[in-house]
Amino acid sequence: MRYRNYTRINHLTPGLQNEPEFYTFNANRMNTEDTNHDTPHITMEDRLWDYIDGLGSPAEQSAIEALIAANQEWLRKYRELLDVHQLMTSSELDTPPMRFTKNVMEEIARHHVAPATKNYINKNIIRSIGAFFLSLIAGLLIYCLSQFKWSGSSSSRMVPSYDLGLDKFDYSKVFSSLPVILFMLISVILGLVLLDLYLQRKKQQVS
């Protein structure tokens, strides 16, 4: 049956124009009736797309079929989405030039298949290096703890005492030296750059 849906194309569904934030997918909405009157088309569209793509359970597919059969709005929207779907399935692949395969084979004749990375990256070596550093850290920790004078006090807690001489240390000299200031400045800038990259990546994933 031919139907002229493209006459409806110019009547954009209200609320969907230039509002990318509308398109939030909620897989848990399984209501047979869409009760969200503020954004009725979002849930309907998502469910119709799932129906067209063949996703969703058989029960959901049957529910959508019933809605399409009984509700004019659902039927109209279904036809609209089906047109887009059929447009995509009817699109064709681009064909490269005739010599493409030959060009590729001529090029790969000059190359060899590289050995698999698992064959030249020995995980045992990486584990050994990791174990070395961990044992080094553990050894230093044990040495530092052994330097404490563990003495008992009136309370039942063991209070280690160790004179680090912190009260004699002049902090102002550390933070007034130029190399330290430069180092802190560079660290702050690098930290902000990394934070920005991380947030941009998160934003990209969300969009």
Partner 1 sequence: MVTYIELTDTEIIKRVLQGEQALFAQLVQRYQQYVFTLVGRFTASREDAEEISQDIFVKAYRSLADFRGEAKFSTWLYTVVRTSCITFLRKKKLDTTSLDNERTFLQLESKESGFKANMIEQKSRHAMVNAAIQLLSPDDSQVLTLFYKGEQTLEEIGRIMGLDPNTVKVKLHRARNRLKEKMEKHFSYAVQELHED
Catalog residues that contact partner 1 under the rule CB under 8 A.
2, 4-7, 9-10, 12, 16, 20, 23-25, 27, 45-46, 49, 80-81, 84-85, 87-97, 100-101, 103-105, 107-109, 111-117, 119, 200, 204-207
Tokens 């047109």 correspond to what residue? 83
Q: How far apart are CA 204 and CA 156, in angstroms?
A: 55
Ramachandran assignment for 122, one of left (phi > 0), alpha (psi -120 to 50 degrees), beta (any other): beta
**Which of 154/204 has CB closer to partner 1?**
204
**Which of 97/165 has CB closer to partner 1?**
97
**Which of 105/166 has CB closer to partner 1?**
105
> Whole-number minimum distance, CB 80 to partner 1, in Å?
8
CA dihedral 15, 17, 21, 25 (to 10 degrees): 70
Token duo for residue 132: 């070395």
Residue 1: half-sphere exposure toward Cβ, Cα within 13 Å: 3
Sequence-distant (≥ 6) Cβ neighbours of residue 40 within 8 angstroms: 34
Q: How far apart are CA 168 and CA 190, in angstroms?
A: 33
> Whole-number minimum distance, CB 151 to partner 1, in Å?
56
> Whole-number minimum distance, CB 187 to partner 1, in Å?
24
**Which of 150/198 has CB closer to partner 1?**
198
**Which of 107/163 has CB closer to partner 1?**
107
Tokens 């049957």 correspond to what residue? 62
> Whole-number minimum distance, CB 94 to partner 1, in Å?
5
Q: How far apart are CA 160 and CA 147, in angstroms?
A: 10
> Whole-number minimum distance, CB 67 to partner 1, in Å?
18
Q: How far apart are CA 43 and CA 37, in angstroms?
A: 10
> Whole-number minimum distance, CB 34 to partner 1, in Å?
16
**Which of 178/206 has CB closer to partner 1?**
206
Longest dimension (CA), the chain: 94
